[in-house]
Chain A
Amino acid sequence: MRAFLDMGGYAAYVWPSYALTLTVMVLNIIWARRLLKRSRKEALRRLAIGGTEV
């Protein structure tokens, strides 16, 4: 386990690379969901004020 974490002496480069990439992936999921949620809310708000054209 220690050998795995040590990455043959490259731990300081390997693990930050993986951490950053996974962070970017998680952020993308959060951002995409947030965009959809906000658009839904905004569309509902337009529906509440508008008629056939919102």
Chain B
Amino acid sequence: MAWTWFHRLASPPHVYRVAGRLTPWLAWPATLLIVGGLIGGLVLAPPDYQQGDGFRIIYVHAPSAWMSLMVYTTMAVAAAIGLIWRMKVAHAVAASCAPIGASFTFAALVTGSLWGAPMWGTYWQWDPRLTSELILLFLYLGYMGLRSAFDEVQRADRVSAVLAVVGVVNVPIIHYSVVWWNSLHQAPSVMRLGEPTMPPSMLVPLLMMLLGFTLFFGALLLVRLRGEVLSRERSASWIREALHP
């Protein structure tokens, strides 16, 4: 009984159809939240008492950094499921995550650098947080490079999945780097135990951006997943069904 929904969930035609139907339900709320968050962050939130208007970089930097970690975790979990249960769809999810995660890791690094320049007096420092985030970018790029080295999708799936799973150790290192080591980077101000360290006028736009980016990732993932599932599919009947409704 329990296995029927599991198999249905993982069957390519079902995934292709449901992903297509679900996409707008993530994309539209994401758009509204991000537009609202941008207005809240750029216009409504008051300037910071120490950093003035420079702190507004947080509204693009923190969500990008959050994406870099959340997407990697999703990728590693999907890759592990693909390895353990030999599930094609899970491998397709992992493959879909990589370019999204890589691009937002890049954005997190560059926006962080643009924030560091006026506040720390330097664009870059070999600091634990910055260095581990750079390693994350290399993990994504390594994963993508490794995939493209194989002609056969199934082999690319299996080999790259091992890298994705091993690389996940870097995720807690990044998150706790500011706690474990002396870092230029500030400690978490939202994702921490206890009260956030921001007033609601600053916090609400940030939470909107974080949720908006997360839903945006969901929408992107679904679009990419349909492409990945389709390219792995060898059964003519459902491709015909999927593409000629």
Q: Which residues of A contact B (CB under 8 A)?
A: 4, 7-10, 13-14, 16-18, 20-21, 24-25, 27-29, 31-33, 35-40, 42-44, 46-47, 50-54
Q: Does the CB pair A33–B243 fall under 8 Å?
A: no
A residues less than 8 Å from B42 (CB atoms): 4, 18
Chain B residues with CB under 8 Å of A16's CB are 114
- In this complex, the member of A36, A40, A42, A46 whose beta carbon has the largest number of chain B beta carbons within 10 angstroms is A36
Among B63, B227, B237, the residue within 8 A (CB) of A39 is B227
Residues B243 and A35 in contact, CB atoms below 8 Å apart: no
Main secondary structure of the interface of B (DSSP, over half): helix
Which of A21, A25, A37, A47 is B239 in contact with, Cβ under 8 Å?
Answer: A47
Inside 8 A of B228's CB, which chain A residues have their CB? Answer: 35, 39
Query: Is there contact, CB below 8 Å, between B240 and A47?
Result: yes
Instruction: Check A18–B233 contact: CB distance below 8 A.
Output: no
State whether B220 touches A32 (Cβ < 8 A): yes
Given contacts A21-B111, A42-B230, 6 further A-B contacts (CB under 8 A): A14-B56, A17-B60, A24-B107, A36-B223, A40-B230, A51-B236
Which residue of B has the minimal Cβ distance to A34? B227
Given A24-B104, A46-B239: A14 in contact with B54 (beta carbons within 8 A): yes
Contacting residue for B224 out of A13, A27, A32, A51, CB 8 A: A32
The reply to whether A53 and B227 form a contact with Cβ atoms under 8 Å apart is no
